[in-house]
Amino acid sequence: MIILGVDPGLTRCGVGVIEADASRRLSFVHVDVVRSDPRISQDLRLLAIYNGLTSKIDRFSPDVVSVERVFAQENRSTVLGTAQAAGLAMLAAAQRGIPVALHTPTEAKMAVTGNGRAEKIQVERMVARILSLSEIPQPADAADALAQAICHALRPSGALEGGEREQHLTLAQRQWAQAQNQTKKRHGVDRGM
């Protein structure tokens, strides 16, 4: 399975592509950052991000696009641009009939490091280690996009209500599921977010 991860942003939008085999072994395919010039109008910036994303999706033909779920931050202008870029990634995937998955930063941190509150450098180092990279992907948006893809690849399969299914999960998968459930409760996913 080819997974294209997106760390949305209006100035820098990270794109990471990995391949996951049936036993969840992961291999690196590609990483890049799609950029827009902050000196041009917002509509043209969005067009630049959209064109960059569609180019990557068309080039790598992913089976799924995993986008970082955006939620409120203190800087309103930043969150708006981030949400717009996330929407562009979802639109580009939907236009091509590619499923979209949304994972929070906490879920990605949990999947990559086993700690939903890991520092950015810990995530970056683990991304490089998991994908057998000789260097940490730069800038941070690139590593975050790969973390999104890894998160989707390592997500527990099936519903996680407990019982037999949960008994067959690895420790990391159980921790990931717990972080996902805690994030949903904390951020009101049930309220439509």
What is the C-alpha separation between 111 and 148, in angstroms, rounded?
9
Report the SS3 class of residue 61. Answer: coil
What is the C-alpha separation between 109 and 94, in angstroms, rounded?
26
Handedness of CA 68, 72, 78, 82 (dihedral sign): positive
Quote the pTM value: 0.81
Please report which helix (H) or strand (E) contains residue 13, including its range: strand 12-20
Asked if the peptide bond before residue 139 counts as cis, ω within 30 degrees of 0, the response is yes
Pairing of strands 64-68, 100-103: parallel
What is the C-alpha separation between 69 and 192, in angstroms, rounded?
13
β-strand partners of 26: 20
- pLDDT bucket at 192, cuts 50 / 70 / 90: very low
57-106: per-residue pLDDT in tens? 999 999 999 999 987 666 666 788 899 999 999 999 999 999 999 999 99
**CB-CB contact of 65 with 93 (8 Å):** yes
Residue at 33: amino acid letter:
V
State the residue for tokens 């969150």: 79
Please report which helix (H) or strand (E) contains residue 179, including its range: helix 171-186
Minimal CA–CA distance to 98: which of 64, 70, 127? Answer: 64
Residues 6+ apart with CB under 8 A from 134: 128
Which residue ranges are tagged as binding site? 7, 68, 141
* Residue 14 burial by Cβ neighbours in a 10 Å radius (0-12, 13-18, 19+): buried
- pLDDT bucket at 156, cuts 50 / 70 / 90: confident
Q: Which fold, 2-191?
A: Nucleotidyltransferase; domain 5 (3.30.420)
Domain ranges of the chain: 2-191
Which residue ranges are tagged as binding site for Mg(2+)? 7, 68, 141
Report the SS3 class of residue 74. Answer: coil
170-187: per-residue pLDDT in tens? 555 566 666 667 666 666
45-59: per-residue pLDDT in tens? 999 999 999 999 999
Q: Which residues have a catalytic role annotated?
A: 7, 68, 141
